[in-house]
Structure 1
């Protein structure tokens, strides 16, 4: 299968890199010519536009920063969609939008897959991230070999749109966890606890989580650079709030979280790193929530392995 990849940013560049590293016939496109040039130097083919990639490739993957960018790229590609063409959307976007886009692709004779990733930017670079795939089973079987070069665990979730709904939920939970860890670490510092010991205490407890085992390290090192910015957080948690509003679920924590992140953006900038939320509490208390011995950046030390499909447990 000849694969096109559009969007070579923080996550997209790493996912595309996994395809290239594993010998996939890859053509790339991005508005940033330097990113395209880097892939060309590593052996990828390059395309002049999204439309050209759809013309030349069997499957085109998009990984873009906003719903508006996704809509613009699809509009460019759609006239060239037909039988044998597959569009794979790996952006985190609105479920209703992805459904509408998928319907347009299918109406043109193509196939569509909604396949966002979860598990941290550092794992995207090693092929160990997780991927949700929303599409027909027939389409899933076609694209599974491609997905297993980019992710470790692949979950077929059913129809297009389901993946995006699940993804905004997971990002909501991750952000809530980040904010609660900021509070927990600051209170422990104020109470005189050794923060390196505190990190281990959380990690071995019922209070641990993926966010703690990754982002807490960047908070404590002072790096505060998880490679995920506040504007992207706001997009995701805003989509989750919209989902709740659409279904009449009266949330209490979600609006507060949006308000807190908005304050963080006012203080540190629209595109500040999300881990800088700890600095709101450092400023309020005069404390430094840091400890020696923690890394400046996250490194995935798990060996790369070919991915596999995760089977959903069902009753008899």
Structure 2
């Protein structure tokens, strides 16, 4: 049985123009210890999916309209807030997108790590503080014993992200959600953060859900990937299979947007290809058509009039495109 199973999930949010389905009929499974990536442009529903898994949809604005989220055999969509608080940070943890603002500036990093341990593990102040030092050392903060008393402003962006990882991993969660974990970090620090996440995954056995728009990060971190577009799953499959043989034009477009560094100075750079247009309005998300049709050079009348079904191509590779066979 999968550790996490999401079936036909529909998430609606209230807007000034009415109720819109920000996630529309999303299904996927996550096995224990697996690394799964959600990839797509901003506004396609990646982070909203993560918030739904954590039970953190904006109160009074977002809600699960239908579908199921089952974690370790337990249904989360009907769980009480008290039960969700027990799960958050303990069984399912999240590294939020912005390390510069995710930490509380009024408390030391040690206090913020220790708070998680005291709340979920019942440790004493002294034991939690000692464990906080060990966690800072585990995420490779130099001189952890001294830095544990630092405030967030005393640390660099990369160090703050490491603190966020330490907080997320404090209780050795079964699932770690990393929402754009290298935002605003330079490429060297990005590589270090990815190496750290891989090491922590091997040591703790946590499954990882990586949310990103960076195909390079997907290739580095994930075993399987889900391509999201306009609140829907456009393509799913093993990373190597999807990158080598994309079956959805949106996936192909995202891959073509990645610049390639040439090995010799004699070669000319290939022209960078872009995906034309923008993600449709939120109020269009629920339409029974292909929502990518207006941006797709392969689209025909059928695409503009009917919603494509998910087609399987073996090796757990699926695509929701009328012309997937041709691609």
**Relative to total residues, which structure has the larger strand share, 1 or 2?**
2
TM-score range, shorter chain: 0.3 to 0.5
Q: TM-score, normalised by structure 2?
A: 0.32
**Relative to total residues, which structure has the larger helix share, 1 or 2?**
1
Q: TM-score, normalised by structure 1?
A: 0.33
